[in-house]
Amino acid sequence: MGLFGFSKKKDASSCKWECHPETAEQDAPVKVLGSGCDKCRALEQSTIEALKESGREPRVQHVTDFAEIAKYGVMQTPALVVDGKVVSYGKVLSKEEVLKLL
């Protein structure tokens, strides 16, 4: 039980910045790391479009927990992680750039 009788219930499929819970997956092979800012959401959207175009299932997890982001060694966001490896950080990629990295 949290402060004043409220419990802290955190939904793992979405973040407080109203990311795309319909595409968020716990063990998604593709992750966007970032605070949930406009740049992070733009990278997430480009990634979803690239996955759809490549015929892959558009499963993208948006990681906003800074402790989790730090585990990847990322110091600049947004970052893109594919199959556990950081493939880009510090910039928003276009759909075409994401396709090349997939």
- Per the annotation, the verdict on 37 as an active-site residue is yes
Tally of CB atoms within 10 A around 55 = 6
- Per the annotation, the verdict on 40 as an active-site residue is yes
Give the end-to-end CA distance of the chain in Å, rounded to a whole number.
43
Residue of 24, 28, 33, 40 marked catalytic: 40
Three-state DSSP class for residue 99: helix
Tally of CB atoms within 10 A around 75 = 10
Distance of CA 1 to the CA centre of its chain: 29
Active site residues: 37, 40
